[in-house]
Amino acid sequence: MPDVPSLFRLDGRVAFVAGAASGIGIAAAEGLAAAGAFTICTDINGPGAEKAATGIRAQGGQAESFALDITDLAAVAQAFLAMEKKHRQIHAVVATPAVNIRKRLLDYTAADFDKVLRLNLAGGFHVLQAAGRHMLAKKSGSIILFSSMRAVTVEPGQSIYATTKAGLIQMVRGLASELGPAGVRVNCIAPGVVESPLTAPIKSQPEWYRAYANRNALNRWATAGEMAGPVVFLASDASSYVTGAVLFVDGGWTAIDGRFAPPV
């Protein structure tokens, strides 16, 4: 029989998390550290990243931090070179940062468009490229990007955000096909409605908040902490034959038709 619990352990491995200062990013960092990984917490908010690392160390984990803007291609590339020099190998890479400007497509400005694509899509590309080059040379590793259920389902005001999240999936699939022969795995997690700084404007409006909760099969929002398990799964040997996949962690949002329950 396989030693299933050990498949989820990350002892002796190094994990990198972009976006670790808050929300899903800090939950991912804490989950990876709890599974035994030395966790590198990064964020454009440097003090926030260090606070996350300090929290991990306070719980007996191993972590360090530095400030990183993933929209800066040169900075991301340099960060991976520095991490390789210090740690020799990065075994798991997770990127969570995203921005959402809720506007109807006809109201979007060029500046709005550029802002959303620059972080969500270009930032993801920068991480994929730098992590991919590092892991290709090492012939192993797991890269995890955060897409969204909005990659496959949309509503008014979400067109551009949804476009970026769908684009991330195709980049991940493409890189998975290119790096698979080298033993490198690349996957996406697609959350549903998660309580985080990104969704704070919705939570502040009770009717909107309840409507989203009632839309999924579990009739509730997810906590950011509920994303930690899927991250650890994809980073660990438990998912050793999983690549090019999209793991929907959406409470059944994309599985059901709507809010009406027919009398069957």
Longest dimension (CA), the chain: 62
Q: How far apart are the first and last CA of the chain?
A: 42
Q: Name residues whose C-beta falls within 8 Å of residue 217's C-beta, 6 or more positions apart in sequence.
A: 251, 252, 253, 255, 256
With vertex at residue 256, the alpha carbon angle to CA 250 and CA 261, rounded to the nearest 5 degrees, is 130
DSSP state of 238: G
CA distance to 22, 34, 174, 223, per residue, from 204 (Å):
18, 32, 38, 16
Q: Does residue 212 have an active-site annotation?
A: no
Task: Provide the token pair at 126.
Answer: 């920068």
CA distance to 38, 89, 215, 225, per residue, from 72 (Å):
25, 22, 37, 28
In the set 108, 161, 209, 212, the catalytic residue is: 161
- Phi-psi region at 153: left, alpha or beta (left = phi > 0; alpha = psi -120 to 50): beta
Using DSSP's 3-state secondary structure scheme, residue 141 falls into: strand
Q: Which secondary-structure segment (H or E) carries 118?
A: none
Residues carrying an active site annotation: 161
